Amino acid sequence: MALPTFAEFEARARADGFDDVLERRWAAGRVVDTHTHPFAVQAIVTAGEMWLTCDGTTRHLRAGERFELARDVPHAERYGADATTLWVARRS
């Protein structure tokens, strides 16, 4: 499946009730220890790779893969050997 454009991702997210849509870039090898967000997240990896750990399960996500998290869900993130880019929609 081809990636949508950022405009298409944003339009779909806003139609689904998300308040904020942005692009996030993470440095190679970055590790973000377990934390939560006060918002729900819907995201797509557009470049690079990441590992997302929730409830003891780790998912390896590559460019083109999506994930969702409800608000206040504890999770950890680790980014690959190359910089990683995500398109992220947030719902307060």
Q: pLDDT (tens digit, 0 to 9) for every residue of the chain, 92 residues total?
A: 688 999 999 999 999 999 999 999 999 999 999 999 999 999 999 999 999 999 999 999 999 999 999 999 999 999 999 999 999 999 99
Query: Which residues, listed in sequence order, are joined to residue 27 by a DSSP beta bridge?
Result: none
What's the one-letter identity of residue 48?
G
The edge-to-edge listing of strands for the beta sheet with 40-47 is: 20-26, 84-91, 40-47, 66-69
Token pair, residue 34, equals 């377990």
pTM, rounded to two decimals: 0.92
